[in-house]
Structure 1
Amino acid sequence: AAGGFEDQMGRCLQQYANTRDAAQVMLECTADAGKLSACKVVDNSAAGKGFDKAAMCIAEKLPMGAKTGTVKVPFRFPGGA
C-alpha cells in the first residue's frame, strides 16, 4: 500500500503545486478509524502556491493507524523536482 500512497502524493503535488518549489505545511486534523478528516491548515510557508491544497489532498489518503482525536500533521515538500 506504500506505493499507492507515494503515487497519491505525487499526483496531489502535480495537481496543485509547483514541484520545483519547496514548502512546509502543517495541518490540524481529526483522526478516527484510520483516516483523517476535518483538516485545516495551521501553517504554510509558501502561501498562495497550492501546497496547502496538495497537503489536504495527500491527507485524504494518509494512513493513520489507531490514532484518534486531534492530530497535527506536518508536510515537507523539498522542491527541486
Structure 2
Amino acid sequence: MTRILFWIALIVLIGMAVRAKLKKMSSQQPPFQQPPRPQEPAREIESMTRCAHCGLHFPASEAVRADGLDYCSPGHVRLPPQ
C-alpha cells in the first residue's frame, strides 16, 4: 500500500512540475509574429501587346517588331500573321 501511495505522489509531483514549467515558458515568449516586410517600390503598369501570329498577350517591352507588327518571339516573325 505504501508503494502505491509513493508512486501516486511521485506522478502528481511530476505532473505539477511539468505544468509549472509549461506555464512559465508560455508567459515568457511573446506570441509568434511575422517581421514586417519591407515595402516594395511601386512598379509602373506596363502596356501589353498581342502577337500577330499566335495571339498571345505579353508586355510590349518584350515584343519583337517587324513590318509594323508585334511578335512574341523571333520564330513567329518568319510565320504569317493571322
Q: TM-score, normalised by structure 2?
A: 0.21
Q: What TM-score results when the alignment is normalised by the length of structure 1?
A: 0.21
Q: Which has the higher strand share?
A: 1
| Greater relative contact order (CA < 8 Å, ≥ 6 in sequence) | 1
Bigger radius of gyration, 1 or 2?
Answer: 2
> Quick check: which one's helix share is greater?
2
